[in-house]
């Protein structure tokens, strides 16, 4: 309000009343957001400054000692972080590119196209347990698995999908793409339908080809949906845990243990809640920083 007055603007009585009504309507959300989101973050950071067991009967303030151990001595933390980033690099681009490709393919005015949109989206509504159990069978070792049975039928050797350290994480990423790509497809499809057809018609008159239309009209028109999907998939990939827990349990030999699984183990298997909170806070700072960088990158030239 003061900034508005300094800029030479004065609000009328009606405008002040409307602003007050807006504040009243948003205030319950802000209160709940602070209680259930902001305060737990502060409490988690406070716990991370202690040796704190799960029950809370053994609490001792240690300052930044947990963070010192985390960054300088904990090899499992770094290996778990490496596995998490590897999964994000495998699954993230696949989810984005495949989702965009499906959206482009299904963005057609054809009778019955809604059925195919529903089919591609349906895996997204399945629970992680169902998806995990199904793909554990699909990629089962030997000829018991569907994929290996197909490979054997054409004369190829079966592959140890989840039992081999080199294959386990890529196989989990494939499962993740199949399971979640429908959501990205839906977001991109909604963005495509917001792009005016007149832009394409005008570009075609000027001799624009398919690649030119995609590069100069489709991609700029999908700027905001693309930002939303990228940020969301990064957060989801770094927080991956239940799918890996069902498929491999972090194996073989810890090669698929993500950061959240390591956090869970230290917090609830070893009762080191303070140390687990330190891991969680590091994840929070990392995700927050990457999200801000992405928002800044995509917002450049927004007004051009």
The whole-number pLDDT of residue 101 equals 94
Spatial distance between the Cα atoms of 31 and 34, rounded to a whole number of angstroms: 5
Query: 165-192 vs 223-238: helix axis angle to the nearest 10?
Result: 150
- Contact by Cβ (8 Å): 116, 189: no
- Residue 229 in tokens: 């999907």
Segment 11-26 shows an average pLDDT of 81
Spatial distance between the Cα atoms of 280 and 282, rounded to a whole number of angstroms: 5
Spatial distance between the Cα atoms of 137 and 143, rounded to a whole number of angstroms: 11
DSSP H/E element including 60: strand 59-61
Chain position carrying tokens 């690649």: 211
pLDDT over 80 (residue 235): yes
Choosing among 1.10.150.80, 3.30.1120.10, 1.10.3720.10, 3.30.70.3290, the CATH entry for 75-127+168-303 is 1.10.3720.10
pLDDT over 90 (residue 203): no
Those residues whose C-beta lies under 8 Å from the C-beta of residue 255, and which sit 6 or more positions away, are 83, 165, 168, 169
Please tell me which residue, 294 or 183, carries the higher pLDDT value. Answer: 183
Query: 75-106 vs 165-192: helix axis angle to the nearest 10?
Result: 40
The whole-number pLDDT of residue 141 equals 85
Q: What is the pLDDT of residues 123-160, one digit of tens each?
A: 999 999 999 999 999 999 887 889 999 998 898 888 98
Chain position carrying tokens 């810890």: 254
Q: What is the pLDDT of residues 48-94, one digit of tens each?
A: 999 888 776 778 899 999 999 999 989 999 999 999 999 999 999 99
Those residues whose C-beta lies under 8 Å from the C-beta of residue 24, and which sit 6 or more positions away, are none
Q: Taking the CA atoms of 218, 223, 225 and 227 in sequence, report the sign of the dihedral they define.
A: positive
For residue 215, how far is the Cα from the chain centroid? 25
pLDDT over 50 (residue 4): no
The whole-number pLDDT of residue 129 equals 92
- Contact by Cβ (8 Å): 185, 99: yes
Those residues whose C-beta lies under 8 Å from the C-beta of residue 156, and which sit 6 or more positions away, are none
Spell out the domain ranges in the chain: 14-66, 75-127+168-303
Q: What is the pLDDT of residues 243-295, one digit of tens each?
A: 999 999 998 989 999 999 999 999 988 888 999 999 999 999 988 888 888 77
Segment 10-33 shows an average pLDDT of 83
Spatial distance between the Cα atoms of 76 and 272, rounded to a whole number of angstroms: 15
Q: pLDDT class for 2, splitting at 50, 70, 90? A: very low
């Amino acid at each position: 309000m003061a900034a508005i007055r300094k800029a030479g603007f004065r609000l009328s009585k009606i405008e002040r009343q409307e602003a007050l009504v807006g504040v009243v309507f948003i205030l319950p959300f802000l209160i709940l957001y602070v209680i259930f989101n902001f305060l737990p973050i502060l409490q988690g950071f406070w716990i991370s400054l202690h040796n704190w067991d799960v029950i809370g009967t053994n609490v001792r303030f240690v300052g930044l000692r947990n963070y010192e151990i985390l960054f300088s001595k904990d090899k499992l933390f770094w290996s778990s972080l490496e596995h998490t980033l590897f999964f994000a690099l495998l699954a993230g681009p696949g989810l984005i590119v495949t989702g965009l490709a499906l959206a482009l393919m299904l963005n057609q005015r054809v009778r019955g196209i809604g059925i195919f949109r529903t089919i591609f989206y349906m895996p997204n509504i399945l629970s992680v347990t169902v998806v995990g159990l199904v793909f554990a069978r699909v990629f089962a070792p030997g000829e018991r698995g569907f994929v290996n049975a197909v490979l054997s039928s054409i004369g190829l050797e079966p592959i140890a999908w989840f039992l081999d350290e080199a294959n386990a994480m890529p196989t989990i990423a494939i499962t993740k793409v199949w399971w979640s790509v429908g959501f990205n497809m839906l977001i991109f499809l909604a963005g495509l339908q917001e792009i005016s057809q007149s832009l394409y018609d005008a570009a075609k008159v000027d001799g624009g080809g398919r690649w030119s239309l995609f590069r100069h009209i489709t991609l700029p028109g999908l700027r905001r949906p693309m930002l939303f999907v990228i940020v969301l998939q990064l957060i989801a990939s770094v927080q991956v845990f239940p799918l890996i827990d069902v498929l491999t349990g972090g194996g073989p030999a810890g090669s698929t243990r993500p950061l959240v699984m390591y956090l869970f183990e230290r917090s609830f298997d070893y009762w080191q809640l303070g140390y687990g909170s330190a891991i969680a806070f590091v994840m929070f700072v990392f995700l927050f920083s990457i999200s801000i960088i992405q928002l800044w990158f995509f917002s450049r030239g927004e007004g051009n």
